Amino acid sequence: MTIKLGVIADDFTGATDIASFMVQSGWRVVQLLVTPDENTDVPQDIDAIVISLKSRSCPVDEAVNNSLKSCRWLRQKASCQQIFFKYCSTFDSTNTGNIGPVTDALMGELNADITLICPALPVNGRTVVHGHLFVNGQLLNESGMQHHPVTPMKDANLLRLMEQQAQGKAGLVDLACVHQGEQAIRKQLNNLQQQGIRYAAVDAMSMNDLLPIASAVSELTLVTGGSGLGAALASTNTGKSLAPFQSAGATPSAQNRRTVILSGSCSVMTNKQVAQYQQLAPAKSLDIGLCLHDPQYAGQLVEWIIQQSESDLAPMLYSTQLPETLQKIQQQYGATTASGAIENTFASVVKSLQQRGFNTFIIAGGETAGKVVQSLDIQQFSIGAPIAPGVPWVRDLQHNHWLALKSGNFGDINFFLHAQEMFHE
């Protein structure tokens, strides 16, 4: 069976995001949690492979090298027909970020003259108009993303962002063209290519806008974007409509379930979700100073979690902060130092909890999720039922663990509670 799409995702939450949307659109999908090599077996009887990298904020050489290794494996060993570089629907990448360099490297590897820039995910409020990215109707740089602790977004113009990061010129496929359909989009892509444009940012205001875009780029060797385009590619192939959110799929059993919540995201929605959950269940904020300087701190947090075992709901550890508090923390400790200390503490806590019998981990934040999953030594996920659009339950078949990996602004205010309500008897 030919594998239709090979996805290289720049973080772990984004990988589960696109995998879930493609499953909902009728494709069979496997998610790999390590950079594959010659010893990695190719999954059978599937339509798409998603490789989860932690390349969004790592050094650019590392991001490029791991992306190229993944691309070569997907093309040469798995024989994928098309490659998809998946990044967040909020284009989490500053002027010196990794999206541009990775895109250039993949274009060179695949001999691609032009590729698509399509982060739109309208079902979650991410739309693109005149090449500008909006989040729930607000320009990206006014949406709260300007306060992101790792990739603060100061500009909403995708063309400008790509040209600052990458080596070529960007052009636009505007909304009027998209509404004219597949052939008009193809013609505009050809026009841009003839003008020497390498990156075609594309407008989209609704999920249905993504369908003609997906059809128009079916012959491109490389596309880039968010999970909305992934859903549309699967939908145009299967003929299954881009249906409203459905909760079909596997969920964790309530029996012998030992669960913890870890929240590292400082997004607007995650702040609301943490505040809401604090009213319902035990919750403890991380002390950054102790994360940095006390080697016993992670063990103390583990003991606190275990002491909450009588609670009906899972305890929560969080480093989620409001923008003004986050700014003070970054000024005191440095943004990179603080983020690294938090991720390392979360990873140590989870590894210890795994050894103590915990088997379910609900994680908010892409950087946090990547570090935690790596600490659990997970190789492959199967995709279960979505908790919210773009956030599925996933199962580690090797250890029989269940995880929910939530991108910052995804889910509603009761996400953490709703995830646990999905446990079945």
Q: Does the residue 372 lie in any domain? A: yes
Q: Are strands 132-135 and 138-139 parallel, antiparallel or unpaired?
A: antiparallel
Asked if 406 and 297 sit in the same domain, the reply is yes
Asked if 134 and 126 touch (Cβ cutoff 8 Å), the reply is yes
Is residue 227 located within the same domain as residue 364?
no
How does residue 150 score in pLDDT terms, banded at 50, 70 and 90? confident
- Percentage of the chain modeled with pLDDT above 90: 73
So what's the pLDDT on residue 242? 80
CATH number at residue 277: 3.40.980.20
pLDDT given at position 153: 79
* Residues 174 and 282 both lie in one domain: no
**Residue 33 maps to a domain:** yes
Give yes or no: residues 60 and 194 share one domain: yes
Q: Is residue 247 part of a domain?
A: no
Together in a domain, 24 and 160: yes
pTM of the complete model: 0.89
Q: 196: domain CATH number?
A: 3.40.50.10840
Whether 29 and 161 share a structural domain: yes
The whole-number pLDDT of residue 34 equals 85
For range 257-278, the mean pLDDT: 95
DSSP 313-371: S--EEE----HHHHHHHHHHH-HHHHHHHHHHHHHHHHHHHHHTT--EEEEESHHHHHH
191 and 89: one domain? yes
Residue 412 lies in a domain: yes
Residues 78, 113: one domain? yes
Residues 37 and 102 in one domain: yes
pLDDT for 402 equals 97
Looking at residue 179, its pLDDT comes to 98
164-184 confidence digits (pLDDT tens): 999 999 999 999 999 999 999
Q: Cα angle vertex 44, ends 38, 46, to 5°?
A: 115
Structural domain tally of the chain?
2
Section 107-131 average pLDDT: 96
Band of pLDDT at residue 29, cut at 50, 70 and 90: very high
Establish if 253 belongs to a structural domain. Answer: no
Tens of pLDDT, residue by residue over 403-413, are: 999 988 899 99
For residue 297, is it within any domain?
yes
Average pLDDT over residues 355-360: 96
Looking at the fold, whether 25 and 150 belong to one and the same domain comes out as yes
Cα separation of 23 and 270, whole Å?
Answer: 25
Domain-embedded: residue 291 = yes
278 plus 342 within the same structural domain: yes
Distance CA 23, CA 230 (A): 10
CA dist., res. 202 & res. 299, Å (int): 48
pLDDT digits (tens, 9 = 90+) for 188-219: 999 999 999 999 999 999 999 999 999 999 99
What range does the domain containing 80 cover? 5-238
Q: How far apart are CA 159 and CA 132, in angstroms?
A: 8
Question: Mean pLDDT for the chain?
Answer: 93
Asked if residue 251 is part of any domain, the answer here is no
* 322 vs 270: CA distance, rounded Å: 10
- 272 and 204 fall within a common domain: no
Q: What is the mean pLDDT of residues 221-235?
A: 97
Helix (H, G, I), strand (E, B) or coil at 106: helix
- Tell me whether residue 135 is exposed, middle or buried, using C-beta atoms within 10 angstroms of its C-beta: 0 to 12, 13 to 18, 19 or more: buried
Report the pLDDT averaged over residues 341-362: 95
Q: What is the pLDDT of residue 407?
A: 87
The confidence band for 30, taking pLDDT boundaries of 50, 70 and 90, is: very high
User: What's residue 366's pLDDT?
Assistant: 84
